[in-house]
Structure 1
Amino acid sequence: MSGADLATALVAEHFEVAGGELVIGGVPVSELARRFGTPFFAYDAGVMRRSYRALHEALDGFAAIHYSVKANPAVPVIGLFLSEGAGVEIASIGEYRRARAAGAAPEQILFAGPGKRRAELEEAVAGGIGEIHVESFEELERLEAIGTALGRTIAVALRINPVAAAQGGAMRMGGKPSPFGFDEEDLGEVLAALGGCPQLRLAGLHLFAGTQVLDAGVLLAQWEHGLKLAREVARQVGQPLATLDLGGGLGIPYFQGDRSLDLGALAAGIPALARSVPPGTRVVVEPGRFLAGPAGVYVMAVNASKRSRGQSFVVTDGGMHHHLAASGNLGQVIKRDYPIIAPTRLGGPAGPPVSVVGPLCTPLDTLGRTVTLPPLGVDELVAVLQSGAYGPTASPGGFLSHPAAAELLVEDGVASPLPR
């Protein structure tokens, strides 16, 4: 599938088109640009809801869903997933505060992260938290001291860095030296240390083997490994675990050759996994990108179209300072293009390939290297799809002091600016 084919497929799968124009949450993209200016991120609430419901159906009878706030921490976005029935997973006290502001009850929140500071842990424990996922011996000691000082028993899960056989995905989180969690082979030592912490109660395990997984078989194998480990730990401690957090990692297609995660294939493997869940254990998955990513569109206006030594460039008013991931500078080794469209010229004749670049004084500010678009004039629109996750908050917004991009949540014809 070419980049253009992927973009066409994504538009058809997730959005409406009227008169050759992209419609986001019931509002034509040109109207959003007129009302709010460019650049902006628009998040289609309906797409988010459909993504959640499709995954919920695929996992029915097996796992609950906790939205991973890091993907898009806007309070209304968190609130949207809470309204659908999700819990939340956080990785900082700032995300904890956002989750509570969105209406999350303390017991709905899971707190992971390899470097939690004492003040963060104190605030979360004092305010109430479902579980804290412990990732180091120092964190065990910190939490034990906090529990003693506050007179509380704290529910903890042990984050495990799984063995190599369980890894997978575009960014592998396990099976190698890692700052995340305890190595699986050291689990006995960790359980012994936890046994010496009377203020801490072992509630569960957390495994996260990889991210951006597009193969249902890889996910099912990782989850099967997690279930096996949960049964073994339950045997060692003499009681079932209350929770097993299997992590996130569900991917979305960004690049030429990517295929969407097959939820049908995932659902087909769920009954066998569900039968092996230990009695009394609640299984959790914590996707973020999968739920929020497809709903987002980053919209820019053309500032200039030019040629240099045989190469054509479209220069826009947006760039990597708003959307670092789309520039390829957030983890890509070989930079590839996100799906890019001319959102008011859909279905129109394409011109020769162009590079789409932003306004920053650096060659790193390139959002598309070989993009097929109609010939575009000044003030016409260019849009990057799959932009609902890891957008503004994962980008160097202060670089060169350009204005921030607006963020909009759009649903049923109403566009609501998100608070900064």
Structure 2
Amino acid sequence: MNPQRLYDYLHGRAQSGSADIQPVCAYVYDLAHLRRRADILRCSLPAQCQLFYAIKANSDEPVLKTLLNHTDGFEVASLGEIQRVRAVDSAVPIVFGGPGKSDIELEGALDQRIMLIHVESEHQLRRLDWIAQCRHEVADVLLRVNPAHVPQEATLHMGGQATQFGIEEAQIPDLLRLIQILPGVRLKGLHIHAISNNLDPDTHLALIAHYFDLAEAWQRHYGLKFDWLNVGGGIGVNYADPGSSFDWENFCAGLSALIAARQPEFRIVFECGRFLAADCGCYMSEVIDVKTTYGKHFAILRGGSHHFRLPVSWQHNHPFIILERESWPYPFPRPAVHDAPVTLCGELCTPKDILARDVRIKQLRAGDCVAFLLAGAYGWHISHHDFLSHLHPERVFLDNC
């Protein structure tokens, strides 16, 4: 995102505040930046790869419309998400993941012409086969593998250990045999998405190479030909140090070399959400009080984790900038903290409503605004919006095209 463009907009909003309106509270998304970022990421990938957007990160209609034709398709995890995509475009490719798919969702996936359904268990496979047979159809599927080994650490693990995601690697051979006798499903390849928020391109390449090993071994052993290997997303955003990002260009160069050396026949799909959308948005909240309690400074915001749950969920201090507002409408002193650590709190009646803790600042006053950066993904969309029935934030979509 263009920091100056973002700052100009937010500062203008902040300066427009007055005592007779609600305190500033808004999400702001830069759609032009999102479009450019998608184009850069997609164009850097080797020709054998495709970039899908995982809409769970941010499924707003303007975001989906922006990414239409700037990615190769969308990854969804519910029938509701399928319907959101189809409301934007009737034909864009969709792949359908998620550990719990009801019969209604599987029916809906077939109704909406989903390109690939990621199957996460034997029971899910048999239900899909039964539903497709009843409809006299054949569903194209990928088997989601929970690999026995994951060659690096990351913030979240969906594989390499016991989780609800995918099919244990040791069980895959039985399903490869089973799927060949089920008339309602057609195996098109594998889905292996084992980690989330990895920040190191070299270890991510090692992960992709391991996925290649698994796919190629099963192809040889069972005489199969996979069309697709979906390697998930899992590429991270450094909230602790926003200036230090995942080196996508270096990763893509390494991926090109890996593909040239291994020459897999299947196409490779990335389904990025956070990595694609995080820096297209920010969450802005006005400071409505500043106080000191037992020697610690607290700024109370108009907003909090009911709007922006990510910092609480991941237990980190979220990066922010302060937008100063000089107007002060009251006839009494303005609460402030200077050259000291401050904790940024929301308006909820819980001590866990913290967006950043003990962060040293030069100055913060009641009436100033705080803009939390990297809030374009997993911000509004994972939050408990109606807890305590506070007003929702304004949501603004900027596009200079």
Q: Is TM more than 0.5 here?
A: yes
Is the CA contact 1:62–1:271 (under 8 Å) kept in the aligned structure 2?
no
Corresponding residue number in structure 2 for 1:6: none
Q: Secondary structure at the match of 1:247?
A: coil
Indicate how the Cα distance of structure 1 residues 344 and 15 shifts in structure 2: closer, same or farther if over 3 A, else same. farther
Q: 1-side partners of 2:394 and 2:63: how far apart?
A: 15
1:45 and 2:31 aligned: yes
Q: 2-side partners of 1:295 and 1:32: how far apart?
A: 20
The alpha carbon displacement at 1:277 in A equals: 4.1
Decide which of 73, 82, 85 is 2:59's aligned counterpart. Answer: 73
The alpha carbon displacement at 1:310 in A equals: 1.2
Corresponding residue number in structure 2 for 1:99: 85
Q: Spell out the pairing of 1:291-370 with structure 2 (5 A cutoff).
A: 291-326=276-311, 328=312, 330=313, 332=314, 335-344=315-324, 351-370=339-358
Is the CA contact 2:145–2:167 (under 8 Å) kept in the aligned structure 1?
yes
**What is the CA deviation profile of residues 306-357 of structure 1, one whole-angstrom value per residue up to 9, with x for unaligned ones?**
111211111110101011112x2x2x3xx32010110358xxx973221111
Q: 1-side partners of 2:13 and 2:69: how far apart?
A: 28
1:373 and 2:355 aligned: no
Indicate how the Cα distance of structure 1 residues 99 and 33 shifts in structure 2: closer, same or farther if over 3 A, else same. farther
The alpha carbon displacement at 1:28 in A equals: 4.4
Could you list the runs of 5+ residues in structure 2 that have no partner in the other structure? Answer: 326-336
The alpha carbon displacement at 1:37 in A equals: 6.2
1:16 and 2:3 aligned: yes
1:151 and 2:131 aligned: no
TM-score (ref. length: structure 2): 0.90
Corresponding residue number in structure 2 for 1:401: 389
Is the CA contact 2:198–2:204 (under 8 Å) kept in the aligned structure 1?
yes
Indicate how the Cα distance of structure 1 residues 167 and 62 shifts in structure 2: closer, same or farther if over 3 A, else same. farther
Corresponding residue number in structure 2 for 1:195: 180
The alpha carbon displacement at 1:167 in A equals: 4.9
Task: After the TM superposition, list the runs of 4 or more consecutive aligned residues in structure 1 that deviate by more than 6 angstroms.
Answer: none
1:82 and 2:68 aligned: yes
Q: 2-side partners of 1:397 and 1:191: how far apart?
A: 43
Q: 2-side partners of 1:202 and 1:83: how far apart?
A: 27
Corresponding residue number in structure 2 for 1:30: 12
Indicate how the Cα distance of structure 1 residues 64 and 29 shifts in structure 2: closer, same or farther if over 3 A, else same. farther
* One-letter identity of the residue aligned with 1:385: L
Indicate how the Cα distance of structure 1 residues 364 and 104 shifts in structure 2: closer, same or farther if over 3 A, else same. farther
Percent identical: 34
Note the aligned Cα RMSD (angstroms): 2.2
**What is the CA deviation profile of residues 69-122 of structure 1, one whole-angstrom value per residue up to 9, with x for unaligned ones?**
10001122112112313311000001100111121525x100011010000100
Is the CA contact 2:53–2:71 (under 8 Å) kept in the aligned structure 1?
no
Q: 2-side partners of 1:67 and 1:322: how far apart?
A: 23
* One-letter identity of the residue aligned with 1:305: V
Corresponding residue number in structure 2 for 1:174: 159
Corresponding residue number in structure 2 for 1:128: 113
Q: Spell out the pairing of 1:262-301 with structure 2 (5 A cutoff).
A: 262-275=247-260, 276-279=262-265, 281-301=266-286
Q: What number of residue pairs does the alignment pair up?
A: 385
Q: 1-side partners of 2:243 and 2:222: how far apart?
A: 43
* One-letter identity of the residue aligned with 2:12: S
The alpha carbon displacement at 1:409 in A equals: 1.5
Is the CA contact 2:338–2:364 (under 8 Å) kept in the aligned structure 1?
no
Q: 1-side partners of 2:177 and 2:2: how far apart?
A: 53
Q: 2-side partners of 1:76 and 1:304: how far apart?
A: 34
Is the CA contact 1:87–1:104 (under 8 Å) kept in the aligned structure 2?
no
Is the CA contact 1:72–1:390 (under 8 Å) kept in the aligned structure 2?
yes
* One-letter identity of the residue aligned with 1:352: A
Q: 1-side partners of 2:295 and 2:380: how far apart?
A: 33
The alpha carbon displacement at 1:54 in A equals: 2.7
Q: Secondary structure at the match of 2:259?
A: helix
Corresponding residue number in structure 2 for 1:4: none
Indicate how the Cα distance of structure 1 residues 298 and 85 shifts in structure 2: closer, same or farther if over 3 A, else same. same
Q: 2-side partners of 1:232 and 1:383: how far apart?
A: 49
Is the CA contact 1:153–1:201 (under 8 Å) kept in the aligned structure 2?
yes
Q: Spell out the pairing of 1:198-277 with structure 2 (5 A cutoff).
A: 198-256=183-241, 259-275=244-260, 276-277=262-263
Q: Secondary structure at the match of 1:17?
A: helix
Q: Secondary structure at the match of 1:143?
A: helix
Is the CA contact 2:14–2:368 (under 8 Å) kept in the aligned structure 1?
no
Is the CA contact 2:307–2:385 (under 8 Å) kept in the aligned structure 1?
yes
Pick which of 371-380 and 120-129 moved more: 371-380
Indicate how the Cα distance of structure 1 residues 366 and 202 shifts in structure 2: closer, same or farther if over 3 A, else same. same
Q: Secondary structure at the match of 1:253?
A: coil
Indicate how the Cα distance of structure 1 residues 161 and 342 shifts in structure 2: closer, same or farther if over 3 A, else same. same
Is the CA contact 1:319–1:360 (under 8 Å) kept in the aligned structure 2?
yes
* One-letter identity of the residue aligned with 1:31: R
The alpha carbon displacement at 1:165 in A equals: 3.6
Indicate how the Cα distance of structure 1 residues 127 and 256 shifts in structure 2: closer, same or farther if over 3 A, else same. closer
Is the CA contact 1:39–1:299 (under 8 Å) kept in the aligned structure 2?
yes
Pick which of 77-86 and 196-205 moved more: 77-86
Is the CA contact 1:350–1:372 (under 8 Å) kept in the aligned structure 2?
no
1:140 and 2:120 aligned: no
Q: Secondary structure at the match of 2:366?
A: coil
Q: 2-side partners of 1:74 and 1:103: how far apart?
A: 14
